[in-house]
Amino acid sequence: MIDFRSDTVTKPCKNMLQTMLEAEVGDDVYGDDPTVNQLEQFAAHRHGFEAAVFVSSGTQANLLAILAHCERGDEYLCGQSAHNYRYEAGGAAVLGSVQPQPVENEADGSLDLKKLATYIKPDDFHFARTKLLSLENTIGGQVLSLDYLAQARAFCDFHKLQLHLDGARVYNAAVALEVDIRAIAQHFDSMTICLSKGLGAPVGSLLLGSKALIYKARRLRKMLGGGMRQAGILAAAGLYALENNVERLCEDHQNARYLAERLNEVDGFNTSAYQVQTNLVYVDVASEIDIHKIAKKLVEQGIQITPGYQGMRLVTHLGVSRVDIDKLIHALNAL
Ligand SMILES: *Cc1c(COP(=O)(O)O)cnc(C)c1O
């Protein structure tokens, strides 16, 4: 299968599987898993944080961050289209009694800081206490500029807010900007990284932050049933991903640009409303086209897409090559 649905569909390569097979393991709830410890220490140091915790998913990493920063009756500011507002089943509200205060994202994915300031609640018992600003980078495949991140940091310092980054695809941002990951990470009090998206590990995310924050997050992880035992098998894949699969993300970005160009050659497909900055490609599909029928036909030819009209999303990753893109274009033109 050639799978354009997401970069979560990647499968571990032989070398990754080999390191998993050879991983030294122990019971991580006792703190005894040397490979998990190695990953957490490596990740904390690599990204310029005091500590890290390895967790099952990006959703759990965001939830732990919000619950570790906030208490019941607090709130976090986030984008209307933020993953940790829209796509995480309302976890912070349901499990932490922390309310989101969403604010419309700008066209470039950022949150206007002047607008954000008007959403910060005064210290008054009518209101939830505004504690945290949560950004996302990349967001919808778009990269937040380093300049903007510095402004967001200054904004949070001024308003005495904590600053969190949902960095599920933060390595795509760093590679697109051609900067070290720390140039992005340095602005945040906490940051998540998905190892299981473009980085190609089968399972796992990291939450990074201060020692005190990660100490709190570990308790919350246990509470949520996220304490894992011989998790070194998975941590080994994460280490492998961080060591081997970062630089190659630029291939995914090049392939995404190529995919967007080629899609424009197909009648009824138009990507001109969208910029390709990283590995996500958005395309508008003319309403005369039965894209759901096309998606079914593509499956018969071993190609998977998520059908849609306005802003249909296709994703490049280590399982998609230029030849695969040519196959998709050929199949679409032949239908
Ligand atoms: C995928 C994703 C997550 C959540 O990751 P899961 O591992 O699927 O829970 C969080 N934030 C963003 C921006 C994502 O793309």
Decide: helix, strand or coil at residue 143: coil
Q: What is the tens place of the pLDDT at every residue in 28-42?
A: 999 999 999 999 999
Give me 104's structure tokens: 């419309």
CA distance 82 to 260: 24
Q: Are residues 239 and 256 in the same domain?
A: no
What mean pLDDT is predicted for residues 225-242?
98
What mean pLDDT is predicted for residues 163-178?
98
Q: What is the tens place of the pLDDT at every residue in 273-285?
A: 999 999 999 999 9
Q: Does 19 contact ligand 1 (Cβ within 6 A)?
A: no
- Ligand 1 centroid to residue 267 C-alpha, Å: 33
- Ligand 1 centroid to residue 149 C-alpha, Å: 20
| 136 found inside a domain | yes
Q: Does 187 contact ligand 1 (Cβ within 6 A)?
A: no
Q: Where are the alpha helices (DSSP H) in the chain?
A: 14-21, 34-47, 58-69, 83-86, 91-96, 113-119, 146-159, 170-177, 181-185, 211-223, 232-244, 249-263, 291-300, 322-334
Q: Does 134 contact ligand 1 (Cβ within 6 A)?
A: no
What mean pLDDT is predicted for residues 227-234?
98
What mean pLDDT is predicted for residues 94-106?
98
Q: Does 58 contact ligand 1 (Cβ within 6 A)?
A: yes
What pLDDT, on the 0 to 100 scale, is given for residue 93? 98
Q: Does 59 contact ligand 1 (Cβ within 6 A)?
A: yes
CATH code at 256?
A: 3.90.1150.10
What pLDDT, on the 0 to 100 scale, is given for residue 335? 86
**Structural domain boundaries enclosing 301:** 248-334
Q: Are residues 74 and 191 in the same domain?
A: yes
What mean pLDDT is predicted for residues 166-191?
98
Q: Does 57 contact ligand 1 (Cβ within 6 A)?
A: yes
Q: Does 142 contact ligand 1 (Cβ within 6 A)?
A: no
Give me 213's structure tokens: 């924050």
- Ligand 1 centroid to residue 196 C-alpha, Å: 9
What mean pLDDT is predicted for residues 55-72?
98
Q: What is the mean pLDDT of the chain?
A: 98
Q: Are residues 224 and 272 in the same domain?
A: no
What pLDDT, on the 0 to 100 scale, is given for residue 58? 98
What mean pLDDT is predicted for residues 308-313?
96
User: Which of 244, 262, 285 represents a domain boundary (last residue)?
Assistant: 244
Q: Does 40 contact ligand 1 (Cβ within 6 A)?
A: no
| 4 found inside a domain | no
Q: Is the pLDDT of residue 121 over 90?
A: yes
| 203 found inside a domain | yes
- Ligand 1 centroid to residue 122 C-alpha, Å: 32
Q: Does 168 contact ligand 1 (Cβ within 6 A)?
A: yes
Nearest CA to ligand 1 atom 14: 168
